[in-house]
Amino acid sequence: MKTPNGVIEEKLKVNQTNETAEPTKSVSCCVPNAQPEPEPFWERYRLVLATALCASFLVTGITLDVLKISQWLVYLFYTGAYIAGGTLSTLEALRALREGVLNVNFLMVTAALGAAFIGDPRDGAILLFLFSLSNTLEHFAMGRTRQAIQSLMKLHPNEALVRRANQELIISVAELKLGDMVLVKPGERLPADGKVVKGNSSVDQSPITGESIPVEKEFGNDVFAGTINQQGYLEIEVTKLVQETTLAKIIQLVEQAQAQRAPTQRLLDRFGSYYTWGVLGATALAILIPLAFGQVFHHVFYRAMVLLVVASPCALVISVPASILSAIAGGARRGVLFKGGAHLEALSTIKVIALDKTGILTTGKPRVTDIISLKGRDENTLLGLAAAIEKQSEHPLANAIVTAAIERKLIVPEATQFQSSTGLGVKASINGQELYIGNEKFFTTLGKTFTEDIKHKLTSASAQGKTCVLLGDSQILGIIAMADTLRPSAPMAITALHALGLKTVMLTGDSESAAKAIARQLGIDEVRAQLLPEDKVQAVKALQEKYGPIAMIGDGVNDAPALASATVGITLGGAGTDVALETADVVLMADDLQKLPFAVQLSRQARRVVKQNLVFALSVIIALITANLLNAPWLTLPLGVVGHEGSTVTVVMNGLRLLGYKTKN
């Protein structure tokens, strides 16, 4: 059995070096001050120019042919159409042949040359024009997924206004250092990740987190490079170098994801190679068998060339990447990052979602929920005394008490003569009154008695998942109950997951009472509490055996082994630790759990679109092959190309719908 660390290392290797991934260029955004270099004019428009030239030569040749003007000029213009429409395809075919691969370019060029061989160059020229036009349409359609990356790169400003040594300087973002003070005016993009140290404003974070509404930012709030400052002035302390920003990580993750092929795509790639050889074999038989029975060579060869075209697997092969890449890019636009097509496909198959409690379902920050007075003092007085004692402590519960006092705008008195008992509580003096604050054990050691009423109140609070501290002097004056608050998006997210037919299970290291209290509020199906990291791994495996594929969402180092063990590991981009971010397969950038059901719906829609494309592509191929074998007179070479290339463009356009996919409410 693998240890948790072993599981993490294995998952990291899969995420970082996928042997099925195509080679990718280095992530230009991660190089400081790098913007995507524009493609050279010829590289960008060569398909358009080739298609336009081919069309011009073809139309001129057909016109001259109809007008019966100089047959050698007709052939000259058809030759020009062959050169313009076939050169790029021939080069691609030769490049593939050097690698031992036969692709659709080889089939199309062969069919066009075959048409010329039997004295029908017009149909061959039409074939090359339609094939070139189809490639052009595919190039620009698939370019929309590439633009999703390029548009992200353009979000990063090249320069930043900083204050150094009481001087304001404009410098390259590459020169920014940790601790630099960046000045951001209204309407400007933020050049770096950091914390607000002065000013307040609303910031449009949609490019990073997918949030549609600007978020208010004030002192101490985190901000991200690439987001847009709205109306206020902000001074920001840089906390991450440009190559380490959230924006840089997003671009890197999406580029890596687009390079990793989904299992269905890898299967089709392997099938496509064998299929192409099969098409060539079938074409040869379509020539030899009829000739053996004495049929006319010209007619037999022409029908074989039509078969070569209509049986080509172009639409079949492009149907999967067109959908997967569009879904990955569409998810990135809305704050959901898939680290590869394999994870997108896997998420569509899950039956159960396991969720960590602290930091995922809850904020991880306790808040005061109840102030129970036992001796007639009002709540604000008790809270003020407690805050006076706790305001010098860094303990999360102490911070919750102080925060509650600040929110109520209480005047907090000064406390002196502090004496701390680690893990128990604190003794202090306020206006000459000796006070104690701490847990039950602390007051037991002080010899304080607990009435049945106090015991009942403590037991009741504990059953609700709340943590209590007691405040007292010679007797217990009151109880302050605190609880980890629900993440605002959690209730709707759990409801949406249930509506998708998914079972929800909480896996937490917290106490059973606290876990069940949160589960009751959210309607979670099953709770497993007091789990160590290795226990979470075993729980994930047990759930997988019982229900099938499982997704695990967590944010901490202790969740990383379980994330690695799950079918799909998911984490939150803002709240997640670096280990969780590296181990997870899917990242929700907005710390918004409602992105989780969206991710599931997107993956399911992508699977549906892939199936639609595969069925459509296969149906067209089968229908055209059948028509060819039945010797249908209407199936000419140009019409065969229209059917073949039309189906290719159709599946690409169908896949591109995923770029703008939105959930149905």
- Is residue 636 very low, low, confident or very high in pLDDT (cuts 50, 70, 90)? confident
Q: Give the Cα separation of 296 and 189 in Å (integer).
A: 71
Q: Does the pLDDT of residue 437 top 60, yes or no?
A: yes
How much of the chain is helix, strand and coil, in % rounded to 5? Answer: 55, 15, 30
- Quick one: pLDDT at residue 623? 93
As separate numbers, helices (DSSP H) first and strands (DSSP E) second, the chain gives 22, 22
Q: Is 115 helix (H, G, I), strand (E, B) or coil?
A: helix
Asked if residues 121 and 75 have their Cβ atoms less than 8 Å apart, the reply is: yes
Mean pLDDT on 533-559: 86
Nearest to 470 by CA among 386, 379, 381: 386
Q: Does the pLDDT of residue 192 top 50, yes or no?
A: yes
pTM for the whole thing? 0.68
Task: Give 283: exposed, middle or buried? Use CB within 10 Å, 0-12, 13-18, 19+.
Answer: buried
Write the single-letter amino acid at 436.
Y
Mean pLDDT on 182-205: 87
Nearest to 90 by CA among 78, 108, 117: 108
Q: Give the Cα separation of 332 and 656 in Å (integer).
A: 14
Mean pLDDT on 376-400: 85
Q: Any idea which of 209-213, 332-336, 380-384 has the lowest mean pLDDT?
A: 209-213
Q: Give the Cα separation of 343 and 333 in Å (integer).
A: 17
The values of phi and psi at residue 486, to 5°, are -65, 140
pLDDT tens digits for 103-117?
A: 777 877 887 888 788
What dotted CATH number matches 363-486? 3.40.1110.10
Rg over alpha carbons for the chain, rounded to the nearest Å, is 33
Higher pLDDT, 230 or 423: 230
- Is residue 524 very low, low, confident or very high in pLDDT (cuts 50, 70, 90)? very high
Mean pLDDT on 59-78: 88
- Is residue 18 very low, low, confident or very high in pLDDT (cuts 50, 70, 90)? very low
Q: Give the Cα separation of 341 and 323 in Å (integer).
A: 10
Q: Does the pLDDT of residue 101 top 80, yes or no?
A: no
pLDDT tens digits for 453-503?
A: 888 888 888 877 788 899 988 888 899 998 888 888 899 999 999 999 999
- Quick one: pLDDT at residue 223? 87
Q: Report the percentage of the chain scoring pLDDT > 70.
A: 82
- Read off the DSSP letter of residue 350: -
Asked if residues 59 and 42 have their Cβ atoms less than 8 Å apart, the reply is: no
- Quick one: pLDDT at residue 48? 84
Mean pLDDT on 294-315: 84
Name the catalytic one among 180, 356, 484, 559: 356
- Quick one: pLDDT at residue 25? 34
Mention the CATH class of domain 159-244.
Answer: mainly beta
Mean pLDDT on 149-159: 64
Average pLDDT taken over every residue of the chain: 80
Asked if residues 321 and 653 have their Cβ atoms less than 8 Å apart, the reply is: no
Asked if residues 135 and 47 have their Cβ atoms less than 8 Å apart, the reply is: yes
- Quick one: pLDDT at residue 189? 86
- Quick one: pLDDT at residue 3? 42
- Quick one: pLDDT at residue 250? 58
Q: Does the pLDDT of residue 269 top 80, yes or no?
A: no
Q: The tokens of 520 are what? A: 């009751």
- Quick one: pLDDT at residue 34? 41
Q: Does the pLDDT of residue 402 top 80, yes or no?
A: yes
- Quick one: pLDDT at residue 196? 92
Which spans in 118-171 are helix H? 121-153
pLDDT tens digits for 168-187?
A: 888 888 888 898 999 998 88
Longest alpha-carbon distance in the chain: 119
- Quick one: pLDDT at residue 256? 55
- Is residue 202 very low, low, confident or very high in pLDDT (cuts 50, 70, 90)? confident
Asked if residues 369 and 481 have their Cβ atoms less than 8 Å apart, the reply is: yes
- Quick one: pLDDT at residue 17? 40
- The residue assigned the tokens 């189809």 is 134
- Quick one: pLDDT at residue 257? 45
Q: Give the Cα separation of 333 and 148 in Å (integer).
A: 7
Same fold, 159-244 and 363-486: no
Q: How many CB atoms lie within 10 A of CB 478?
A: 25
- Quick one: pLDDT at residue 253? 55
Nearest to 491 by CA among 338, 355, 350, 337: 355
Beta-bridged to residue 483, according to DSSP, are 367
Q: Give the Cα separation of 516 and 522 in Å (integer).
A: 10
Asked if residues 236 and 193 have their Cβ atoms less than 8 Å apart, the reply is: no
- Is residue 611 very low, low, confident or very high in pLDDT (cuts 50, 70, 90)? very high
CB-hemisphere CA count at 13 Å for 589? 27
Q: Does the pLDDT of residue 155 top 90, yes or no?
A: no
The answer to whether 356 is a known catalytic residue is: yes
- Quick one: pLDDT at residue 214? 73
Mean pLDDT on 317-344: 82
Domain positions in the chain: 41-148+253-328+604-660, 159-244, 363-486
Write the single-letter amino acid at 477.
L
